[in-house]
Structure 1
Amino acid sequence: MEFSEKALVLRVGRFREIDAWVRLFSPSRGMYTAFAFGGCRSRRRFCGCLDVFNHVHFKVKTGRAYHTLLEGRLVNGHGRLRAEPGRLGMAVNCLKFFEAVEVGPHGARAAHDLLLEALATLTAETAPSRLFPLYFRAKVACDQGFFPPLAACHGCGAPSEDIPWAVFHVEEGRLLCPACPRPVRGTFVRLGRDAMRLLSDVRSAGPADWGGFEPSPGAAGEFSRLLDRFVTYHLGLSWEHGTFVKN
């Protein structure tokens, strides 16, 4: 059985002398691995296709044990990412988080479109925000239903825009205003109004709009601490030695 579809190349590895395995992500199938036999030397079937960050239209043969890539046609290589170390670093950070989250089939289309837009934005923008990888993590967590909304206090219901600051209880995923009692135990992150607004903006906007966000150093620091603690506790991921590892 054969099928054709566009997919993003997440990782490429070699086995034997001229064969390669390729980790792909498509909007219909999510993440899967396929083999490109002869792919390391084939200029005819996979010309310019088997590189990380490439968006490729593949023809795939399915078998009982594995998928085989028959041929590919490059749609977008996002070449500028490889030419500029700053952009490349941000793209790699986003990609490693994306892989580590292990998005299920039900959320594949939204995740695929987000990653594609993120790569296009990093390629096109004059100067991507230094917080781009953090925005990406927050957007993935929100889109996949991991991160709760922070529009109001979970205790009294006061809108977050009406309170000067609040605390986020990491373990329970609840936002609490100063007037509401806190649980005795747990990890708390203090958030000012600007940090809460920033998260709301990231949740509702796409990567192409993130360059317009200009948070203060304080709001950026609170946002970063919130994401770090939330991802570590709820997704079991931490950044160590250049990659995300399961805790």
Structure 2
Amino acid sequence: MTGVRAHRAAGHAAGRHYSTTAYVLHAAARVLAAHPAANAAIRGRVRPKVARYDTVNGKFTMDRTVNGERVVLSAVLTGLENASLDDVQEQLDRFRDGDPETMPEFAGARLLRRLPWPLGTLAFRAGVRPLGRRAATMGTFAVTSLAHRPVDGFHSVGGTTITLGLGRTADRPVVRDGRVAVAPVMRLNLTFDHRVVDGAEAADVLAELRDALETVKPAADPAPDLAPAAGEERG
């Protein structure tokens, strides 16, 4: 994460703030746009159906307090395959600074919270069951972070084919050019639905995402392309 840390510092000096989640959402969207088999969802057990999506929507989680109660909320950012890093961060800031009791994007969550638990569960399942609606309600991939605590690795199932778990970024010993050095390292965890993709495809997604994050470079205008957009090739 040396490049990400340097890029964040350059952004801070220019008056911009970028979270690690923003880098991962931005890079993962472009990687998944190049892997349509992983940008998909499944429904059913006896006769399962798989839908692949033309757009890449990323779900992320937030630790918030609502009515004095600590809750985890999630929101979906749509069309990330064409979004810049600044676009992603602006959307993250809007959700994290907004009031979940009034934001229209959380209207469904507010309704479910008011319903009795059994009825709320049935309503949620009915809402996310149609594959045509799944990308908008659940995202085509999910990112969750526990980096605010001393957590290195964990695996989460976010209801999507690909779920990325972000641990903390910490200085650790690494080997570079045959020598031990200290560098910022983040453990990037991936959980995948084996009914939709196999391990080889999941490994490609994780490796390409790692490469994208490791090759971030600070620039005069700190808004990098972390991975090729759909249809583009690496230079």
Q: Same fold (TM over 0.5)?
A: no
TM-score by length of 1: 0.21
Which structure has the higher relative contact order (CA within 8 Å, separation 6+)?
A: 2
